Amino acid sequence: MRKPQGAAARSAGAAIAALAVVAAALPGEACAAAADLATLPRDLSPWGMFLGADVVVKTVMVGLVAASLAAWTVWLAKSIELRRNVAVARRGLDRLESDTTLQQAAAETADQRDAVAQMIHTVDREASLSGGAHDDGFRERVALRLERVEAAEARRAAIGTGLLASIGAVAPFVGLFGTVWGIMNAFIGISKANTTNLAVVAPGIAEALLATALGLVAAIPAVVIYNHLTRRVSAYRALLGDASAQLLLMISREAARPPMRARAVR
Residue type at position 24: A
Instruction: Assign 42 a pLDDT band (cuts: 50, 70, 90).
Output: low
**Domain map of the chain by residue range?**
1-39, 46-265
Q: What is the pLDDT of residue 16?
A: 39
Distance CA 51, CA 202 (A): 15
pLDDT over threshold 70, residue 266: no
Instruction: Assign 186 a pLDDT band (cuts: 50, 70, 90).
Output: confident
Q: What is the pLDDT of residue 24?
A: 45
Backbone angles phi, psi at 157, to 5 degrees: -70, -25
Higher pLDDT residue, 200 or 120? 120
Least confident interval from 10-24, 39-53, 102-116, 173-187: 10-24
Residue type at position 198: L
Q: What is the pLDDT of residue 51?
A: 73
Distance CA 33, CA 214 (A): 33
Task: Decide: helix, strand or coil at residue 132.
Answer: coil
Instruction: Assign 252 a pLDDT band (cuts: 50, 70, 90).
Output: confident
The beta-carbon contacts of 156-162 under 8 Å, at least 24 apart in sequence, are 157/78, 157/81, 157/82, 157/85, 157/233, 157/236, 157/237, 158/229, 158/230, 158/233, 160/74, 160/77, 160/78, 160/229, 161/74, 161/78, 161/226, 161/229, 161/230, 161/233
Q: What is the pLDDT of residue 207?
A: 80
Task: Decide: helix, strand or coil at residue 265.
Answer: helix
Q: What is the pLDDT of residue 98?
A: 82
Q: What is the pLDDT of residue 200?
A: 64
Instruction: Assign 259 a pLDDT band (cuts: 50, 70, 90).
Output: low
pLDDT tens for 163-178 read 999 999 999 999 999 8
pLDDT over threshold 80, residue 12: no
Higher pLDDT residue, 207 or 120? 120
